[in-house]
């Protein structure tokens, strides 16, 4: 039977990162089959792993959902935060979001129970596309479109070049391969524009088409196969971007 390091097994449940798991193990908060393990312990699918007395390994099929997040919902698994995405969806199995979409924004976000796919998709250097439709506070200019596409200095770096297309006088489409914190809002702010609405309409090969606000659907087999193929060469370092 396949074995894997205990910290990896814990991270794949979505409970925490591998480094977070190492810390829990060092603090004696993790048990394997009722016993406190050492760092570097390897486990199999038959082992029962618990953290602070709660079993985190439950054998369920992998879940992959495309969710159309409404404005006002927070992408966190912390249930004490009002308006958290977990309580809103109220899915019968434990799931968590892949990445984030800030509270004032809406649109597509993936939900899963597969920690391994989370780490691979979130690697910024893997250049997975995310597409947004953005409405701003005033009339767009050719200079704005050009500068947004060529890169904006924010967060001690310059954003990667990206495709920006004008939709109408105040709305544009942008395709990013980065995941900087509040990236589009910061880019617009730099150029003197305020974001009025921001909607993510596509991640990789999956779009919002036919998903109403506040609803979700499962990935199709074709969609999942395409994603698995596109991330097959993704690096497996400890930290997601």
CATH of the domain at 179: 3.30.70.1560
CA distance 121 to 219: 15
Q: Looking at the structure, do residues 111 and 173 belong to the same domain, yes or no? A: no
Task: Judge whether 107 lies within some domain.
Answer: yes
Which pLDDT score, from 0 to 100, does residue 44 have?
86
22 is catalytic: no
Q: Looking at the structure, do residues 192 and 138 belong to the same domain, yes or no? A: yes
Instruction: Check 102, 116, 160, 189 and give the catalytic one.
Output: 102
Task: Judge whether 239 lies within some domain.
Answer: no
Residue count of the chain: 241
Torsion of CA 81, 86, 90, 93, to 10 degrees: -130
Q: Looking at the structure, do residues 177 and 80 belong to the same domain, yes or no? A: no
Which pLDDT score, from 0 to 100, does residue 1 have?
59
Which pLDDT score, from 0 to 100, does residue 59 have?
63
What's the total number of domains in the chain? Answer: 3
The full DSSP string for 79-137 is: TTSTTBHHHHH--SS--EEES---TT-EEEEEEES-HHHHHHHT-GGG---EEEEEEES
The residues near 142 (Cβ < 8 Å, ≥ 6 apart) are: none
Q: Looking at the structure, do residues 85 and 118 belong to the same domain, yes or no? A: yes
Task: Judge whether 210 lies within some domain.
Answer: yes
Q: pLDDT per position in the chain (241 positions), as tens?
A: 578 899 988 888 878 888 889 999 999 999 998 899 988 899 987 788 999 988 887 566 788 999 999 999 999 988 899 999 999 999 888 888 998 899 999 999 999 988 788 878 876 455 789 999 999 999 999 999 999 999 999 999 999 999 999 999 999 999 998 888 999 999 999 999 999 999 999 999 999 999 999 999 999 999 999 998 888 776 544 443 3
Task: Judge whether 238 lies within some domain.
Answer: no
Tokens 């993790």 correspond to what residue? 30
- Residue 8 belongs to a domain with what CATH number? 3.10.290.10
| Domain extent for 34 | 4-55
Quick check: 114 and 71 in contact, CB under 8 A?
no
Q: Looking at the structure, do residues 27 and 77 belong to the same domain, yes or no? A: no
Which pLDDT score, from 0 to 100, does residue 237 have?
41
Neighbouring C-beta atoms of residue 158, cutoff 10 Å? 11
């Amino acid at each position: 039977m396949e074995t894997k390091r205990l910290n990896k097994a814990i991270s794949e449940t979505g409970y925490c990162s591998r480094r977070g798991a190492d810390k829990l193990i060092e603090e004696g908060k993790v048990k394997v089959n009722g016993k406190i393990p050492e760092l570097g312990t390897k486990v199999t699918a038959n082992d029962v792993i618990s953290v602070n007395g709660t079993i985190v390994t439950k054998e369920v099929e992998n879940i992959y959902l495309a969710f159309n997040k409404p404005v006002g919902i927070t992408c966190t698994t912390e249930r004490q935060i009002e308006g958290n995405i977990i309580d809103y969806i109220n899915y019968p199995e434990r799931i968590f979001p892949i990445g984030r979409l800030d509270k004032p924004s809406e649109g597509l976000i993936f939900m899963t129970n597969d920690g391994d796919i989370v780490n691979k998709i979130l690697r910024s250097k893997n250049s997975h596309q995310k597409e947004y439709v953005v409405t701003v506070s005033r009339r767009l200019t050719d200079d704005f479109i050009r500068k947004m596409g060529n890169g904006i200095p924010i967060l001690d770096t310059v954003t990667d070049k990206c495709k920006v297309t004008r939709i109408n006088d105040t709305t544009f489409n942008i395709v990013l391969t980065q995941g900087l914190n509040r990236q589009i809002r910061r880019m617009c702010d730099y150029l003197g524009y305020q974001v009025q609405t921001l909607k993510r309409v596509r991640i990789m090969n999956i779009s919002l088409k036919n998903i109403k606000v506040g609803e979700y659907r499962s990935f199709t087999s074709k969609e999942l196969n395409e994603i698995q193929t596109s991330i097959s060469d993704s690096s497996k370092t400890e930290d997601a971007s």
